[in-house]
Structure formats: C-alpha cells, structure tokens
Amino acid sequence: MKKIVFLAMLLIALGILGCGQAPSSPAQVADAAESIATAEEPTEPVEVQEEPAEEGWGGKFKELIGMSGPLKYTASYEMTGQGMESSRTDYIDGSTMRMDTASEGMESRVYVLSEGSYVCSKQGAEWSCMGGAKSEDEDASDRYDAAKAYSNVVEQDITFAGTETIAGETGQCYDVSVDIPNVGKSESHVCYTSDGIMLRTESANSDMIATSVSRGSPGSDKFELPAEPTSLEDLRAQYM
C-alpha cells in the first residue's frame, strides 16, 4: 500500500493522475497510474533564465513540488483531452489530502489521511471506498512527499519554461520528461506557484489548468469518507 500511495503522489504532483476522464471505479483510479501518454514537443518558453549552477532546474522543480506537504489550500481545475471535459478539485491540509475528479456524471476521490489511504467512487447515488491503514513502519511524510518520490523513482530531464499567470497566480513553469520504472515515459509542461501549488499540467493528450486557488485549511469535513471502506485484503477475498 505504501508503494502505491508513494507513486500516486508522484503522479499527482506531475498532474498525470486526475487528467482526462474520471475513472468509474476504485480499480480504474488505481489503474490510472499506469496510463501515461507521451507528449509532443512543448510550446516556446515564455521567458528563459540561466540554469542554476549546482542542482540545475531539477533541483528547483523538486524544491517547488516538495513544498506541497505543509501547505493548506483548495484548488479547482478544468481538464480537457481525448474529446473529454472533466474537473478536479484538490483539498490539501498539510499531510492530509483529498483529490476529486468528475466527468460525465462519474465521480471519484482519492484520500490520503493520517490513518491510511483510500480510493472512493460513486456509482449512481451510492459511494464505495477501498483502502486501508498505513503500515506500522510507514512514515506518514513519505505518503505525500512528492519531491522524495520524484527523487527516488524517476529519471528526469527538466527545463525552465518561464512564467504564466493562471487563476490570478504567477506560475513558475517547467518542461518535464520523466521515465518511471514499470510505468513508462511521460513528457509534460507544468506550472507551480512559488509556494508549491500546482497551476497547470499539459501533455500531448490533455491539459489541466487551475480555475481557482484558495489558501487556508479546507476544513475537517472535507476529509470524511463518504462510505465505510473495504480493505484491500477483503476485496481480494471476494474475488479469489
């Protein structure tokens, strides 16, 4: 479970998980981590800065996405791609996270809570959730530290691509090429605020752009599961 959440947080940081059509089941949400499209060549940079001498743009980018842990904010996004339109909303309160996606009447949510991680989906009027508590040896900070995940599991090529104004915020933008073991290669154009909030992620097949950003705690009610969760062990037992 720890490894799944670790990878999921990386994909969320890069904007890969949550782009396009909302999955219709918890299993499809998990499978989304395996669906990374190869991008076309990024657009011309808005402005160019000299690369930092020591760590390069990779270090600056990882510094940005690593800021997301202690932040408290709510951000909404519009997503387009593959002939689909969908929406996503992130609720972040330090190490606690919820990510909602919705498309064509289908809704799904990913929760990273202090007690464990869960994936929920809505079928008709009914919600169902699966997941479980974190392992005893799991460090809670690992479960949302995207920069740490990024450093550990990917090879990367990162170029600064200038700044963009998105949802009233100034975004520092990067062209990012990553190669994730057992997942594949992905290229994207991503923008983050100076304090680590994702504003945009664009690839050949999709574009996700922020429509609103609100800083401050989303409130504890945003992190209540909509249904009693089924553990992964119980789920396996049902189908084996």
Q: What is the DSSP string of 71-95?
A: -EEEEEEEEEETTEEEEEEEEEETT
How far is the C-alpha of 65 from the C-alpha of 85, rounded, in Å? 26
Consecutive 10-residue averages of pLDDT for the chain (240 residues): 48 50 45 37 40 55 65 94 90 92 91 92 92 65 54 70 96 87 81 92 92 96 95 61
Residue-level pLDDT at 156:
72
Model's pTM, two decimal places?
A: 0.71
Q: Determine how many CB atoms are found less than 10 A away from the CB of residue 135.
A: 10
- Identify residue 89 by its one-letter amino acid code: T
Residue-level pLDDT at 185:
80
Residue-level pLDDT at 204:
84
What is the residue extent of each domain of the chain?
2-239
Scan for tokens 């947080």, then name that residue: 9
How far is the C-alpha of 205 from the C-alpha of 90, rounded, in Å? 21
Report the chain's C-alpha Rg in angstroms.
17
Residue-level pLDDT at 56:
62
Residue-level pLDDT at 132:
79
Bridge partners of 120? 109, 129
Bridge partners of 187? 177
CATH number for 2-239 (one of 2.50.20.10, 2.170.120.12, 1.10.486.10, 3.10.580.10): it is 2.50.20.10
Q: Determine how many CB atoms are found less than 10 A away from the CB of residue 47.
A: 10
Residue-level pLDDT at 140:
52
Residue-level pLDDT at 151:
58
Residue-level pLDDT at 122:
93
Residue-level pLDDT at 37:
32
Q: Is 2 helix (H, G, I), strand (E, B) or coil?
A: helix
